[in-house]
Amino acid sequence: MESEYNGAEPQVINENENDTDRRSASGRKRTVQIKFRVTEAERDMILEKMRLLHTSNLAAYMRKMSIDGYIIAVDHSDLKALAAQIQKIGVHINQITRRVNTTGNVYEQDLTEIKGALAEIWRLQRLSLLKAH
């Protein structure tokens, strides 16, 4: 089992001490490497947080957390579901439009369906806004 933090400096390796703005001889922009140890439980916690954020790049995750201290994950599943439902409504309206263009006739049922589709879009939008607050 690893011991708790003892105040020692983390291991820092700098490939190019004198030039931090230019790329190193290996072509890397980031020339300073920081290494530290964690327990298996800590590693598992880090990996779980990465999984929740849908990221698999450990270096980018650790850099972001080290510099900013927090990452906010935004759940867009409601918006994706709303977009999918609106797309289905749009497909239905396009079908009605094709029928009107083909026959040259606008039927009362078509107008009723379009009004219903628009009402559904507004209902979904209001529902989405209510969930956001």
Over residues 97-123, the pLDDT tens digits come to 898 899 988 888 888 988 898 898 888
Q: What are phi and psi of 25, to 5 degrees?
A: -60, -30
pLDDT of 58 > 50? The answer is yes
Q: Are residues 49 and 15 in the same domain?
A: yes
Give the dihedral of Cα atoms 93, 98, 99, 101; nearest 10 deg: 120
Q: Are residues 102 and 128 in the same domain?
A: yes
CA dist 105 → 27, 90, 98, 102 (Å): 67, 20, 11, 8
**CA pair distance 130, 34, nearest whole angstrom:** 45
**CA pair distance 60, 49, nearest whole angstrom:** 13
Q: Are residues 23 and 46 in the same domain?
A: yes
- What pLDDT, on a 0 to 100 scale, did the predictor assign at position 107? 86
**CA pair distance 12, 60, nearest whole angstrom:** 17
**CA pair distance 24, 30, nearest whole angstrom:** 8
Q: Are residues 61 and 94 in the same domain?
A: no
pLDDT of 12 > 70? The answer is no
- Residue 4: pLDDT band (50, 70, 90) is very low
The domain tally of the chain equals 2
CA dist 95 → 41, 61, 90, 107 (Å): 56, 46, 9, 13
Residues 15-56: tens digit of each pLDDT: 554 444 556 677 788 888 889 899 999 999 999 999 998 989
Across residues 67-94, what is the average pLDDT?
84
The parent domain of residue 52 ranges over 11-68
